[in-house]
Amino acid sequence: MAPRVPGCRGAERTIWAATETRSAPIVDRNERRLGRSPVRTPRKARAVDSRQAKERLPVLSRVMIAAPSPIEFVLDDLDSGEQRVTPTVDGITLIELVRDYETAVSFDVPGGYDRLIIDRFRFGDLGAYLSGKTDVWPGPGKVALLGCSCGELGCWPLFAQVGETDKYVVWDRFEQPYRNDRDYSGFEPFLFDRRRYADALHRLAVGLS
């Protein structure tokens, strides 16, 4: 019998559990940006040398990190007048990136995510939250970067651990709380220049003011 999983209010999502354990290939974001189908190719990475090792983030569990990516938090309006924010990496929405990855590795119920609706956000300062500098839900340093396509943040969220050093901000340890066995190691980490990350959050704050 198919297990029932948390779904949108008023809706019933019944799916079949995954029957295989799959290794997690990497979806090349450049292929997605160019409009081609995602290709499972190794992410370009570089080894952390002795100087960089001093700045290694607690959230990084490996010695290979991706090159820093451009980051933006894009605002738009719903017909209801509510504002929502979309994280974008290299000009591609995180919604698309995680959906393509989850599809490529054959996760059950791939995607289903959507933007964070600002008017339904109840966790204090949004900039501090997206920097991982709060202890609110879902936990210290952990952030819901995306909510559910129904508009409710906690219905089907995408979590990530957010950490920083003097130079970098990193998204790592991605998690779908209703699918604890999912492996996102081929999707992460995302590395950002700390100053540019702060600039992106400042632009978000200006847009919300």
DSSP for 85-108 reads EEEEETTEEHHHHHHHHHHHTT-S
Overall domain count for the chain: 1
Whether residue 20 lies inside any domain: the answer is no
pLDDT of residue 167: 92
The answer to whether residue 114 sits within a structural domain is yes
pTM: 0.70
Averaged pLDDT in 10-residue chunks for the chain of 209 residues: 40 32 41 42 34 38 61 91 92 95 94 90 87 89 93 91 92 94 92 96 91
Q: Contact, 75 vs 208, CB < 8 A?
A: yes
Q: Does a structural domain hold residue 181?
A: yes
Say if 8 falls within a structural domain.
no
Decide if 59 is inside a domain.
no
Residue 30 located in a structural domain: no
Alpha helix segments (H runs only) across 1-144? 29-33, 50-53, 94-104, 126-130
| pLDDT (0 to 100) of residue 29 | 47
Domain enclosing residue 129, as ranges: 67-209
Residue 156, pLDDT score: 95
What is the torsion angle, in degrees rounded to the nearest 10, for the CA atoms of residue 21, residue 156, residue 128 and residue 169? 20
Report how far apart the first and last C-alpha atoms of the chain are (Å, whole number).
50
Task: Answer yes or no: is 104 within a domain.
Answer: yes
Q: Is residue 57 part of a domain?
A: no
Structure tokens at 156: 């089907």
Contact indicator for 22, 106 with CB cutoff of 8 Å: yes
> Which pLDDT value is given to residue 66?
58
